[in-house]
Structure formats: structure tokens, C-alpha cells
Amino acid sequence: MEKGDELGRVTLADIAREAEVSVSTVSKVLNGRTDVSASTRGRVERVLREHDYQRAARNGGEAPLIEIVFHELDSLWAMELLRGVENVANEHGAAVVVAHSGSRHAPGPGWIDAVLRRRPLGVVLVFSSLPPELKRQLRARSIPFVVIDPAGNPDPDVPSVGSANWAGGLAATRHLIDLGHRRIGIVTGPEDTLCSLARLDGYRSAMSMAGLEVDPELISFGDFHAEGGLARAKRLLELPDRPTAIFAGSDLQALGVMEAARVCGLRVPEELSVVGYDDLDIAQWTSPALTTVRQPLREMAEQATRLILALRSGEIGAAPTRLELSTTLVVRSSTVGPGPR
């Protein structure tokens, strides 16, 4: 390794010599080529990792692409995030690549090879975490990445953009309490996502500050989708002492709650008040118009894309950055004081 040590930086030739492969094979691994055997790829990746090898960023050779990766595309909030990435990409003359992979926690294992071949300017990931191996591979190719976390909080070594979930849950519940509600149910998101737990903690804090008991029967974990909101709200509304208001952890779940009220013969808001979360475009067109907590999804995506471009250009260092945008209560027609029960 005399050459690498003398220059203070490990070269491709050094990596190839230690991994007992050709320089072209190392290059293929760095570029995500598929014509390398799994055992050879693993050996090269191990040597790259041991030397913390990072390819120097090129100024003109990358494809003018920004990639956004979702675990699901069939939701309105995904479209809001996509619009935000597109807004900033268009300002900088870049195109947007949309990838669909994995679960809400991390991309699937097959995604990394494709992104390494594309070598975009950077990657926006809509996941709650990123496996260590994927982080190492992206950093080795000097591909900056930022996580948007509407579904959780990423690892501390990952640049990320999120929103104030606890404050949003607090504001939604306080609004209902201020209207006079005391039996307040909540249909939050999945139990294994931190944003769901943060919104639930905000709900509990608001109830506690108002001196109100939190009834475990009124707490339900959903899936952020309308069908889940419908099923869980029906269970709440069939309780002998049903809630007079329900805080839903997403606007889509709130639509399900409103449908559950209709099925149970209850009028919204006269007999059941409903608060959503996200403030998607559809919220203002429901009947009645939905009171909700605005999560600035489009702005979150814009900030994430700007952060990627700043990392790419060297305007900011490689140290992890966490941006948290504020949430706002938007009062419409789906909430009033408690009516007859």
C-alpha cells in the first residue's frame, strides 16, 4: 500500500491489489454493475469499507438526476413529497427519478445496485432508517442522501427533515378539549413508527394538562389509510361510552373515521367531531371540511432536496443535519362542541 500511504489517499489500484481483482472490477463494483459475482463484490466492498474509500465527486459527470425513494406510492402524501422534490429539481435543471422499494422502515436490498448505476446528484429517502451497508455504499460513491421522516425518526448519523409531531398531536387534542370534549378517542398510525407515538404522546400530554383521564379503550393504532381508520373508528363508536370526538393520525384515516360515523348513524360534527393530520388538498373538500393539523410535506421535500444539493456542492459539511419544520392547526367545519349522545 506504499502508493496510497504516500499520497495520503487509497487509490483504486490499492483497492484492487488488496482485493486481488483488477482495477476494472473495482470500478464495476463502484458503479453498481451487475456483471460481478457476489463473492467478488463482497470482497471488494469489504476492502472499500476497511479503508473508508470515498470516490471523489465529479463536477460534470453525474447524470442531472435527483432520486426520491418511497415504500408506497398510492397515497396523497407521497404526491405532496414528490411535488416538493420536483419544485427544487426544476429550479436547478435536474430531472426526478421515482423509485419504489422496501417497507416503511428501509429500502429493499435490490434498490442499491440500481441507484449506484444511475449515480444521481443525490437521493431523498422516505423511510425511517437506512441500513448501515447502504449508507456506506452511498458515501463511498459520494452520493449524498437525506431522509424525510413522516413515518419516524432516522438514525442520528443521517441528514434528515421532519416535522413537529408531538406539537401537532398536542394542538389537535387541545382544540377538542377547548371545544368542551372530554371523551376523546385517537386513531394514530402504526405502533412501531415514532411519529405515531409522538402524536399519541401529544394527545396524552394535552389530556393530562387539562386534568382529564386517558382511557386506554379510546386509543387505537392504525395504518394511516382510510380503511384502517374506518375499522378502528367503528370499534370506538360501538363502545358503550363512545367518544364525542376522534383525533385521526392522518387525513386519510380521518376520511375513514367520517365514514364510520355515517355507518353508525352519527352526524359529523353535530354528534362526532373529527380532526385529521397532514392537511392534504382533499381535506378542504370533504363534507364537512376537515379540521386538521398541517404537516408541511411539500416544504419538507423541498428542504430535503436543497440539503442534498448543498451537500453535493460542498456548501455545508458532511456532518449530519436535522431540520424540523413546525406544524399548524387548521380549523374547518368538522369540529364543534359536544352534542347529544
Q: Give 170-225 pLDDT, tens digit per residue.
A: 999 999 999 999 999 999 999 988 889 999 999 999 999 999 999 999 999 999 99
Grid cell in block for residue 2: 506504499
Grid cell in block for residue 11: 487509490
pLDDT above 50 (res 7): no
pLDDT at 146: 93
pLDDT at 336: 98
pLDDT at 6: 34
pLDDT above 70 (res 8): no
pLDDT at 70: 87
The answer to whether 113 touches 32, Cβ cutoff 8 Å, is yes
Residue among 135, 123, 116 at smallest CA distance from 96: 123
pLDDT at 45: 82
Pairing of strands 291-294, 328-330: antiparallel
pTM of the model as a whole: 0.79
The average pLDDT across 46-59 equals: 69
Residue among 123, 95, 85 at smallest CA distance from 297: 85
DSSP-derived 3-state class of residue 246? strand
pLDDT at 32: 66
Q: Taking the CA atoms of the chain, what radius of gyration do you get in angstroms?
A: 24
Q: H/E element holding 90? A: helix 76-91
Residue among 126, 146, 138, 150 at smallest CA distance from 71: 126
Whole-number percent of the chain with pLDDT over 70: 88
pLDDT above 50 (res 2): no
Assign residue 211 a region (left: φ > 0; alpha: ψ between -120 and 50; beta: otherwise): left
Average per-residue pLDDT in the chain? 87
Burial (CB count within 10 angstroms: exposed 0-12, middle 13-18, buried 19+), residue 340? exposed
Question: Which has the minimum average pLDDT: 136-145, 206-215, 315-324?
Answer: 315-324
Helix 132-140, helix 111-118: angle, nearest 10: 10
Grid cell in block for residue 309: 444539493
What is the rounded distance in angstroms from the CA atom of residue 312 to the CA atom of residue 126? 19
Task: Tell me which range, 50-59, 65-74, 244-253, is most confidently predicted by mean pLDDT.
Answer: 244-253
Grid cell in block for residue 135: 449508507
Burial (CB count within 10 angstroms: exposed 0-12, middle 13-18, buried 19+), residue 93? exposed
Grid cell in block for residue 76: 396523497
The answer to whether 169 touches 202, Cβ cutoff 8 Å, is yes
Phi and psi at 78, nearest 5°, equal: -65, -40
pLDDT above 80 (res 142): yes
Phi and psi at 243, nearest 5°, equal: -70, 155
Give the residue, 163 or 17, on which the prediction is more confident: 163
The answer to whether 177 touches 207, Cβ cutoff 8 Å, is yes
What is the rounded distance in angstroms from the CA atom of residue 252 to the CA atom of residue 228? 9
Q: Strand order in 145-148's β-sheet? A: 95-100, 65-70, 122-125, 145-148, 160-163, 322-325
pLDDT at 184: 98
The answer to whether 278 touches 322, Cβ cutoff 8 Å, is no
pLDDT interval class at 316 (50, 70, 90): confident
pLDDT interval class at 53 (50, 70, 90): confident
The average pLDDT across 75-91 equals: 89
pLDDT interval class at 3 (50, 70, 90): very low
Residue among 223, 225, 224, 220 at smallest CA distance from 203: 220
The answer to whether 302 touches 88, Cβ cutoff 8 Å, is yes
